[in-house]
Amino acid sequence: MVLSSILVSFVLYLALPGAMLPVTVRAEKVNVIAGKPAILHCLDSTDKKNPATLIWKYNNKLLLKIFQGNPFKGEKSEMWTLNNDESFSLELVKAETGLYTCEVDGKLETTYEVKVWKVIGSKSGYLLQGDTLKLNLSPFNMEDNRIEWFNPQKAKVTGKELRWKVQEDSIQITNLTIQEDHGMWECHVFPDQLKIPYNVKIIGFPNPLDEFNFAALNSSFNLSCPLNINLENQKDPEIPRVQSWKLVKNNIVVEEQNISNMNNSFPTKRIPRVHFEDAGKYQCHLRFNHRNLNKNINLIVMTVSAVPDELSSKENVTLCGHIKPAPPLAELCWVNVNESMSKPTCGSPISENKFCHIATTAGLWRCDLKVNNNVKISINYTLGKTTNEWTVESRFPLIEIASGAGATLLLLILAGICVPTCKHIKRKRQQAKRIAQIKQHLLAKRTCQCQRELANDYYHT
């Protein structure tokens, strides 16, 4: 039996005007939460009576009459069903506030004072992120009741929150958010200990409205503004239809689509190979019947460079991390993965959109882009060491001078001395260069890959 849904608060004795025999009749107060069923018993199941006539009334109107075992329906038959049990109980499927009575053989048997509680929203169905919603408790009696509101995270509303304004019998939620407002709210009513639920349904973006995404140069990237619910799921007629959506950058439409063309994969703009020109601020505009939903995606593109691309004894390598644009509080850090003891060197890329580090050791280097001390994207660079050159240079340090002023004269002098040796050296250097080129080609394939985080790829401003 669904007795648990009946919240009997107290029993009172009520004098019913017009009642024939008993002067006082047991009248139970029954609190019903709207939408939940309630069961009203007529006879005690121990009574074992077999009445000739049994009548259920609601506010003195006939609901049901049972005469010699045969039921006859009266009014409001959509509101109740008769349970097939010994107590001739009435199950209220759509209870209404009022007085319910059961008469047995002309004698008033039981009386119930039913009160139906509900929370009423100022708007129904799905709301859009940013809307305002007011929830009211009904009925509300200031003298008798005190109420508290609980958000979908089951936290009590204190009244000090910015967006939640509590009044005597209501709560107003402004600038609705997916994160805090979407879900089942509860109104707790005291002293009756009722918990009345209300499902707040919001369509919006689960990610921040100003989102930061990070991509490595030449990697592929999908620009998208996923919603918290799948709009293709047309089973729920309450879900409002998107009229159109578009992706805009600098007031230029990058991608536009009609809802009729929308697939179950939510609108996405795929960038197969990210360039620096792709960086910047994008806006997603989704048009619904009455309102738009908008959000920003800031795409930050990163790459690394090394000049020269290999270490040699004559030159250290300048490793640079480049980003565009540089978000506030961004930091680039270079760390030599092979030297676990070495400390990363970090710097702000804000002024030049890059941060460089002079590398003196070979091995695997990693450049981290950190925002608020969280690593957003990392790029590896394997720094190799030029072979062979060491021997060349140690014997002929003049080559370095050769590129400077007055080199021609010096070369002329030297030419006479060492033509045979130089031929040998030239061959060796060409060989070394070829090896270096092959190596570089191989390295390019396995370095500079992007390591994208998934859900945490953004930060809050």
Ligand X SMILES: *[C@@H]1O[C@H](CO)[C@@H](O)[C@H](O)[C@H]1NC(C)=O
The interface region with ligand X, picked from 140-148, 216-224, 408-416, 432-440 by CB under 6 A, is 216-224
The answer to whether 362 contacts ligand X (rule: CB under 6 A) is yes
Spatial separation of the C-alpha atoms in residues 377 and 370, rounded to whole Å: 8
* Structure tokens given for 286: 């989704």
The answer to whether 242 contacts ligand X (rule: CB under 6 A) is no
Minimum separation from the CB atom of position 428 to ligand X (A): 21
Q: Are the C-beta atoms of 227 and 205 separated by less than 8 Å? A: yes
The interface region with ligand X, picked from 16-24, 324-332, 400-408, 446-454 by CB under 6 A, is 446-454
Among 384, 371, 375, 381, smallest CA distance to 337 is for 381
* Structure tokens given for 356: 């460089």
The answer to whether 232 contacts ligand X (rule: CB under 6 A) is no
Q: Are the C-beta atoms of 25 and 111 separated by less than 8 Å? A: yes
Among 122, 292, 316, 388, binds ligand X (CB under 6 A): 316
The interface region with ligand X, picked from 35-43, 46-54, 215-223, 393-401 by CB under 6 A, is 215-223
Minimum separation from the CB atom of position 158 to ligand X (A): 19
Q: Are the C-beta atoms of 151 and 167 separated by less than 8 Å? A: no
Minimum separation from the CB atom of position 89 to ligand X (A): 49
The answer to whether 175 contacts ligand X (rule: CB under 6 A) is yes
Q: Are the C-beta atoms of 267 and 245 separated by less than 8 Å? A: yes
Among 5, 296, 380, 387, binds ligand X (CB under 6 A): 380
Spatial separation of the C-alpha atoms in residues 84 and 81, rounded to whole Å: 9
Among 76, 82, 83, smallest CA distance to 97 is for 76
Q: Are the C-beta atoms of 367 and 304 separated by less than 8 Å? A: yes
The answer to whether 303 contacts ligand X (rule: CB under 6 A) is yes
Distances (CA, A) of 70 to 89, 102, 110: 15, 16, 21
Spatial separation of the C-alpha atoms in residues 334 and 387, rounded to whole Å: 24
Minimum separation from the CB atom of position 87 to ligand X (A): 53
Among 45, 53, 258, 421, binds ligand X (CB under 6 A): 258
User: 404 to 423, contacts with ligand X by CB under 6 A?
Assistant: none
Distances (CA, A) of 54 to 48, 88, 310, 395: 14, 8, 100, 120
Q: Are the C-beta atoms of 266 and 226 separated by less than 8 Å? A: yes
Among 5, 136, 172, 257, binds ligand X (CB under 6 A): 257
The answer to whether 337 contacts ligand X (rule: CB under 6 A) is yes
The answer to whether 217 contacts ligand X (rule: CB under 6 A) is yes
The answer to whether 342 contacts ligand X (rule: CB under 6 A) is no
Minimum separation from the CB atom of position 147 to ligand X (A): 26
Using CB under 6 A as the binding criterion, the count of chain residues that bind ligand X stands at 31
Q: Which is nearer to ligand X, 138 or 218 (CB)?
A: 218
- R_g of the chain, CA atoms, integer Å: 39
The answer to whether 315 contacts ligand X (rule: CB under 6 A) is yes
The answer to whether 270 contacts ligand X (rule: CB under 6 A) is yes
Longest dimension (CA), the chain: 140
SS (H, E, C) 158-187: CCCCCCEEECCCEEEECCCCHHHHCEEEEE
Q: Which is nearer to ligand X, 138 or 298 (CB)?
A: 298
The answer to whether 177 contacts ligand X (rule: CB under 6 A) is yes
Among 4, 234, 251, 261, binds ligand X (CB under 6 A): 261
Q: Which residues in this chain contact ligand X in the complex, by CB under 6 A? A: 130, 175, 177, 209, 217-218, 220, 222, 256-258, 261, 263, 268, 270, 303, 314-316, 337-338, 358, 360, 362-364, 366, 380, 448-449, 451
